[in-house]
Structure 1
Amino acid sequence: MTNVTRLRHALPLSSDINKAVVDLDTAIAKAIDVAKAAGLPQGLIVAELHGHAHAQTHVMVKK
């Protein structure tokens, strides 16, 4: 896991990283709003987010 950066060691974060985090958060929030408007059950939305978080954690640990 040499490619993983612990944020507490990288503080303060660069403006590029801050923008990327804000953009990611905004995109996720918009996608959730669209899914809710389409009638997806909240549990399915949560399951999708949890599944992606699990998969990304696996990718980080595997490297």
Structure 2
Amino acid sequence: MSKVTRLRHALPLGQDINAAVNALDKAIADAVGAAKTVGLPQGLIVGLLHGHAHAQTHQMVSEFP
């Protein structure tokens, strides 16, 4: 977990970090919009997002020495 940065300690965030966060947010919003357009059930969309968030959290916690 040594690669995890607590944002409150890194404020103000640099322009590159802000750009990356904005790009990530847009990509997620676009993907959710596309999934809704093709008719994926909302519960499936939420489940997939929750699963990815859980997996990433597990990965970060597991890297802690």
Using the size of structure 2 for normalisation, the TM-score is: 0.95
Equivalent residue number for residue 25 of structure 2: 25
CA distance in 1, matches of 2:25, 2:2: 25
Deviations 1:15-60 (A, max 9, x none): 0000000000000000000000010000000000000000000110
Q: How many residues align?
A: 63
Match of 1:42 in 2: 42
CA positional deviation for 1:2: 1.3
Report runs of 4+ in structure 1 exceeding 2 Å deviation: none
* Equivalent position SS for 1:22: helix
Q: How big is the alpha-carbon RMSD for the aligned residues of Structure 1 and Structure 2?
A: 0.4
Instruction: Give the unaligned 5+ runs of structure 1.
Output: none
Task: Tell me, in whole angstroms, the C-alpha distance in 2 between the residues paired with 1:7 and 1:51.
Answer: 23
**Distance between the aligned counterparts of 1:3 and 1:29, measured in 2?**
26
Identity across the alignment (%):
70
- Structure 2 unaligned residues grouped into runs of 5+: none
